[in-house]
Amino acid sequence: GESVGLHLPTLSVQEGDNSIINCAYSNSASDYFIWYKQESGKGPQFIIDIRSNMDKRQGQRVTVLLNKTVKHLSLQIAATQPGDSAVYFCAENMDSNYQLIWGAGTKLIIKP
Amino acid sequence: DAGVTQSPTHLIKTRGQQVTLRCSPKSGHDTVSWYQQALGQGPQFIFQYYEEEERQRGNFPDRFSGHQFPNYSSELNVNALLLGDSALYLCASSGQTNEKLFFGSGTQLSVL
């Protein structure tokens, strides 16, 4: 769950295509996971969450998939739009713990 | 319905000085968490306040302290500022669980 340095992984996607952002989480005891979107100069914005008793959850244009076997989380964004350009973070939490542990972040770039 | 509000938005201090950052949680939320976000990294948990007490603390030195008021607003104080304290300081609020944290836009602190 430790974040890496200044060089964020980057994903470039054509406008209108689907985007898939991946995250490996660190703690097998984590039971709650969240995706956040952070635009430049702003705080993180909640996108979607999922508890460990589920493996898929859908929102508006977004889907989160959870694979507990390999400790992997993904965020799928359908029909990517220019407004989706941002850094996306996954975060994990355990019920017994009040802090979120954040992943490294992925910068999503939309190509016109 | 106002979301999480933080003040000031930007602050410049010199080494050794002290700083106080302020946060008002989202309406209906009684729990406030503070995070530090260095450039290009995910947020790092500083501490969480609930019922005017520090409920959990991350791996930050005692120079970082906080307070929560009866109206649920909160302050983050940092003493003896170091250059490495330069970062975006984020406040997040939630209900009693840690689900769906809502973040403010942050205070950008620069220590010269």
Residue A2 reports pLDDT greater than 50: no
- Burial pattern A84-101, b for ≥16 Cβ within 10 A else e, equals bbbbbbbbbbeeebbbbb
Residue A104 reports pLDDT greater than 70: yes
pLDDT confidence tier of residue B75, bands split at 50, 70 and 90: very high
End-to-end CA separation in angstroms for chain B: 37
Task: Find the CB nearest B103 among A43, A103, A105.
Answer: A43
Q: For residue B79, which of B10, B21, B9 has the smallest C-alpha distance?
A: B21
SS3 B94: strand
Q: Which amino acid is at A50?
A: I
Does B32 reach chain A within 8 Å, measured CB to CB? Answer: no
Set of chain A residues whose Cβ sits within 8 Å of the Cβ of B103: 36, 43-45
pLDDT confidence tier of residue B62, bands split at 50, 70 and 90: very high
Task: Find the CB nearest A99 among B45, B99, B106.
Answer: B45
